[in-house]
Amino acid sequence: MTTMYKLPVALLAVIALFAMPVSAQPYPSRPIRIILPFAPGGPTDLLGRVVGQKMTESWGQPVVVESRTGANGVVAAEFVARSAPDGYTLLIGTNGTHGINASLFPKLSYDTVNDFAPVGRIGFAPYVLVAHPSLPVRSAKELIQLAKGAPGQIACASGGSPSQLSCALFKSLAKIDLLMIPYKGNSLAVSSVIGGETSLVFGGVAQSAPQIKAGRLRAIGVTSLMRTPVMRDVPAIAETGLPGYEVSTWYGMLAPAATSRAIIDKLNAELVRILALPDVRERLAAEAYELPSDTPDQFAALIKAELAKWAKVVRETGVRPE
């Protein structure tokens, strides 16, 4: 005869809890990783840590920021694309990883659109075209005139695909020939202009501002369509000689493609909340970032527009990876 035992209700509840699949637990229920495509100390590191800290405070789960550098951000992007689509591995993508790389690297190891679920942008900022003070130009118009009289003789430094493509787009729209000199990192490219090794570079606004103020660099124009609040006295390239010229460097959060829409929406709502916090706005404004409040769909549309834009530039200029 079989003997039946009745387990206490409380014990049954505990057993049921541990038997629940991980997917049924509220998100997030364990640590989250934010993967950075570039080395610590740069913009992705700053933005990733600011967002990660606020997520930890809000959700009570550790958010670990981890750098996986290499190949213009390809290493990090591929890692996240191949990760489990559960919301616990996220990427801080850029206009390089999700706008430019697809055109520069024909055999890219990830699909920019189909391998990711966009969450939202974290920040964006223009570049500023700066020149060595010895170059006799003070505007985009004067630079174009000088370059037309000296084809291939004015050196434009670059330290990565965004600054490289910024220079290539300028050349293409202005129909001029600049000598493009690659460096391993944009800080080295900016230093080459300060030292007089090269004449021009598209530098970060926050990084270039102290050098401009000290007279070691001369600002020619910002790459946004209108002036930026951080450099109100510096005109836009588009308004001083090259109408339609626009480039911005942007950073955004992405998850693996099959991540549920419920998790994507929760991440987006948290991102929007964080970017509205006064201390976050003050911290990032000091670095010249403007803070958007994109929906996932708006961010996805931006990525597709960037892909088309840079594919055209690469096709027309024939530029190759540095």
User: Beta-carbon neighbour count of residue 183 at 10 Å?
Assistant: 20
* Structure confidence at residue 24 as a pLDDT band (50, 70, 90): low
Q: Is pLDDT above 80 for 136?
A: yes
Identity of the residue numbered 107: K
Nearest to 83 by CA among 101, 110, 56, 103: 110
The mean pLDDT value of the chain amounts to 89
pTM score of the predicted model? 0.84
Contact in structure between 168 and 262 (CB atoms under 8 Å): no
Q: What local confidence, expressed as pLDDT, does residue 8 receive?
A: 53
Q: Domains (ranges, CATH) in the chain?
A: 31-125+249-317 (3.40.190.150), 127-239 (3.40.190.10)
Segment 269-283, tens digit of pLDDT: 999 999 999 999 999
The beta strands (E) that lie in 20-173 are given as 32-36, 63-67, 89-94, 116-131, 155-158
Average pLDDT, integer, range 137-146 = 96
Mean pLDDT for 143-161 is 93
How would residue 228 be classed by pLDDT, with cut points 50, 70 and 90? confident
SS3 content of the chain, % helix, strand, coil (to 5): 45, 20, 35
d(CA 216, CA 156): 16
CA distance 117 to 138: 43
226 pLDDT band, cuts 50/70/90, is confident
Span 120-142, mean pLDDT? 95
> Tell me: the pLDDT tens digits for 82-98?
999 999 999 999 999 99
pLDDT of residue 176 exceeding 70: yes
